[in-house]
Structure 1
Amino acid sequence: MIEVNGKQIETDAEGFLANLEDWSEEVAVALSQQDQLELGDKHWLVINWIRNYYAEYGTSPNLRAMTKTIGNDLGDEYADKKYLFDLFPYGPAKQAGRYAGMPKPTGCV
């Protein structure tokens, strides 16, 4: 459970939102603050890309899906695992997906 703007937002034990409708940019910032990570423009590009991926495919991208497809939309550097891990050190698909308000990606531990 996290509190954002006086509202209680339900999360699971790993911090993923219980209700995807509860997502907002403020929720993403609150989740990132738990990890002591300040979100910059590059983080938001990935977060919004994940939200768009989910809207199109109905599932959260795992790391393999991310690295195979994200470069086409955001540029080649985003298709590099090391680059993504520099942005999201706890795992790009899992951590960025959590900030994006998506369900935990399949295959992420």
Structure 2
Amino acid sequence: MMTLEYAGKIIDTDNEGYLLEPEQWNEEVALQIAEGESLEMNEERWQIVRIVRDHYEHTSCVIELRKVLKSLKEHSGADRATRKHVYNLFPYGYGQQACKIAGMRKPLKVLLDL
């Protein structure tokens, strides 16, 4: 187990840096996780992270990539709603980086990328 520190609080993560308690997430924590992933958060990355968080807050489940793509298409157009675009933003994968930055627990299945 590893930890992050935010505002004097210790936040537990698993050995890969995924939060153990997604409820401890906030945008400052996301910035720390992104820094650890060597990613600078820009508006396009934030958009995907916010889609993941919004879905989680309504369902307590992690959203699959195909549903993220559908949301991107509705809000940003078809040119941004592609797997290639998401992987350009998160080169190690949607489940490995976008979900981690969004404060999700490590997915038990990597079906998120389907």
Fold shared by both chains (TM-score > 0.5): yes
| Counterpart in the other structure of 1:108 | 110
Which residue identity is paired with 1:57? Answer: T
Determine helix, strand or coil for the equivalent of 1:55: helix
Alignment match of 2:59 (pick from 57, 60, 65): 57
Give the 3 Å change call, closer, same or farther, for CA 55–75 of structure 1 in structure 2: farther
Task: State the alpha-carbon separation in 2 of the partners of residues 14 and 53 from structure 1.
Answer: 23
| Counterpart in the other structure of 1:2 | 4
Identical columns (%) = 35
| Counterpart in the other structure of 2:68 | 66
Task: State the alpha-carbon separation in 2 of the partners of residues 89 and 11 from structure 1.
Answer: 21
Which residue identity is paired with 2:31? Answer: V
The within-5 A match list for 1:21-32 is: 21-32=23-34
Task: State the alpha-carbon separation in 2 of the partners of residues 104 and 59 from structure 1.
Answer: 12
Task: State the alpha-carbon separation in 2 of the partners of residues 107 and 42 from structure 1.
Answer: 25
TM-score (normalised: structure 2): 0.81
Q: Is this contact kept in 2: 1:29–1:39, CA < 8 A?
A: yes
- CA deviation after TM superposition for structure 1 residue 45, in Å: 0.7
Q: Is this contact kept in 2: 1:62–1:107, CA < 8 A?
A: no
Task: State the alpha-carbon separation in 1 of the partners of residues 55 and 12 from structure 2.
Answer: 23
Which residue identity is paired with 2:95? Answer: A
Unaligned residue ranges in structure 2 (runs of 5+): none
CA RMSD of aligned residues (A): 2.0
Unaligned residue ranges in structure 1 (runs of 5+): none
Task: State the alpha-carbon separation in 2 of the partners of residues 75 and 16 from structure 1.
Answer: 30
In the TM superposition, what whole-angstrom CA distance separates every residue of 1:37-70 from its partner, at most 9, and x where no partner exists?
Answer: 1101111111111111122333102333433444
TM-score (normalised: structure 1): 0.84
Q: Is this contact kept in 2: 1:28–1:100, CA < 8 A?
A: yes
Give the 3 Å change call, closer, same or farther, for CA 52–16 of structure 1 in structure 2: same
The within-5 A match list for 1:74-89 is: 74-89=76-91
Identify which range, 56-65 or 67-76, moves more after superposition.
Answer: 67-76
